Structure 1
């Protein structure tokens, strides 16, 4: 029934960028502006699962091939400014040691480019705001940046004035798809990835409606429905296969999200998961109680309360934890207490 499983993988580009024509044209316009005027970037924003990364990678790839411009995709979540520079140097075709001094990296990137241009797609860049990483990258001649984040107003508010100026007028926001729009996207995936005729248009519309226009969840629900149909030896997808697919899809997405997170996020997640429920004050106190042991022999250092709050927002956006107001306090709980973080994250037992 599933003819091409890779069609349903997150990293597989779609058969077509449907219902994003206006955003595609706007990003192309901004890339032309960046390459001609310089010091003018773009900000792609929107909730998880609406196709920000897919749109950015697809457009930059086509733009790079058409105009001969180098580009690179960097996952910025949990990275330092120095690490971003190292990834940029490698993306431009250069080599750099992980222990190269940070103050030498801008000049190393300039030398690697040798007058050429480099477009950087800075994905999952929520933590980058306030570090001036974008400002430092774009201070290198020829480097322009497209930032991907979730909350554009918050991101810009935490950024330095020169970064806000750099991104001024370059904002593109992606909303969730309408039911008919997402049904079209699912139909494309089914046409390429499934055997012909195993899913109906009505079922695709039902999935699109039930996932509230989130493309990633819709695609994974379609995949899970097909898997359930195979397991039940159905010749096609039945409605009960669809009904049972939602939680399997959400569980798969949560697991993938958790796997993608860096160490700081995983520590906070494990503290919440082990507690079952914990207030914000209790969470910070517990973090500070165990931080010396948790971070022992690691390059990473414990983070501030402000940084912890930012990372808690990411855990919520990834559907890994929930937060509710309780008597003027925030109460955090895990969505799936059976989902463990990387086993290298070890929280000391309470004495």
Structure 2
């Protein structure tokens, strides 16, 4: 039934950017302006799963092919400014050692580029706002930046004035798809990824409605429904297969989200999961009690309480952690307590040993 499973993979580009035509044209306009004026970036914003990364990657790849520019897609979550520069240098075709001094990286990028242009797509760049990374990168002649984040107002509020000016007028906000729109997208995936006529339009519309227009969840639900149909030896997807596919899809997305997160996020997640339920104050106390052991012999260093709050927001956006109000405190818990972080988080001692 599943003819091409890669069609449902997050890394596979969509057949086309259906129902994002206006956003495509706006991003192309901003890229042209960046080439001519060198004072305009772009900020792609919206909730998880609505196609921000697909939009950025597809448009930049086509733009680079047509105009001969270089571009690089950088997963910015949890990265330092130095790491961003190293990835930019490699994206520009240069080489740089991981231990190259940070104060040399700007000149190295400048030398690597020469008179060429480089567009950087900074994905999952919520943390970058509180640093001067974008300002330092765009200070290098020929470098232009497209930022992907969830909350544009919050991102711009934490950025410095120069970066706010650079991104002024460059906001592109993506909303969730309508039911018919997402059903069209799912139909495109089904045509390529599944054998013919195994899912009905009504079923696609049901999925689109039930996932509230979130493309990623809809695509994964369609894939899960096909998997369940195969397991049940059905010749086509039944309504019961769709009904049972939602939790499988959400579980798959949560697992992928968790394993994509950097070390700091996974430490906080494991502390919450291990505790069962924990208040924000208790979480900070627990973190500070174990941080010396957790971060021993690692390049990373413990993060501040403010940084922890930002990372908790990401865990909630990724549907890994939920919180509820308890009197005047927030109570955190893991959405799926059976989902453990990857094996690198092994040095968190049990609660009773903290």
Instruction: Give TM class, smaller chain.
Output: over 0.9
TM-score of the aligned structures, taking structure 2 as reference length: 0.99
For 2:143, the equivalent position in structure 1 comes to 143
Deviation at 1:336, TM superposition (A): 0.2
For 1:69, the equivalent position in structure 2 comes to 69
- Looking at structure 2, the residues matched to 227 and 213 of structure 1 have their Cα atoms a distance apart, in angstroms, of 22
For 2:185, the equivalent position in structure 1 comes to 185
Question: 1:149-160 alignment to 2 at 5 Å?
Answer: 149-160=149-160
Q: Please list the CA deviations of residues 127-151 of structure 1 after superposition, one character each: whole Å capped at 9, or x if unmatched.
A: 1011010000000000000000000
- Looking at structure 1, the residues matched to 105 and 28 of structure 2 have their Cα atoms a distance apart, in angstroms, of 29
- Looking at structure 2, the residues matched to 238 and 344 of structure 1 have their Cα atoms a distance apart, in angstroms, of 40
For 2:340, the equivalent position in structure 1 comes to 340
TM-score of the aligned structures, taking structure 1 as reference length: 1.00
Q: Please list the CA deviations of residues 177-233 of structure 1 after superposition, one character each: whole Å capped at 9, or x if unmatched.
A: 000000000000000000000000000000000000000000000000000000000
Deviation at 1:39, TM superposition (A): 2.2
Residue 17 (str. 1) matches residue 11 (str. 2): no
Q: Please list the CA deviations of residues 66-113 of structure 1 after superposition, one character each: whole Å capped at 9, or x if unmatched.
A: 111110000000000000000000000000000000000000000000
- Looking at structure 2, the residues matched to 68 and 298 of structure 1 have their Cα atoms a distance apart, in angstroms, of 40
Divergent runs of 4+, >4 A: none
Flag structure 2 segments of 5+ consecutive residues without an equivalent: none
SS at match of 2:148: strand
Deviation at 1:173, TM superposition (A): 0.1
- Looking at structure 2, the residues matched to 39 and 279 of structure 1 have their Cα atoms a distance apart, in angstroms, of 44
For 1:319, the equivalent position in structure 2 comes to 319
- Looking at structure 2, the residues matched to 71 and 149 of structure 1 have their Cα atoms a distance apart, in angstroms, of 19
- Looking at structure 1, the residues matched to 53 and 35 of structure 2 have their Cα atoms a distance apart, in angstroms, of 21
For 1:87, the equivalent position in structure 2 comes to 87
- Looking at structure 2, the residues matched to 83 and 344 of structure 1 have their Cα atoms a distance apart, in angstroms, of 21
For 1:260, the equivalent position in structure 2 comes to 260
Flag structure 1 segments of 5+ consecutive residues without an equivalent: none
Q: Over the residues paired in the alignment, what is the CA RMSD in angstroms?
A: 0.5
For 2:49, the equivalent position in structure 1 comes to 49
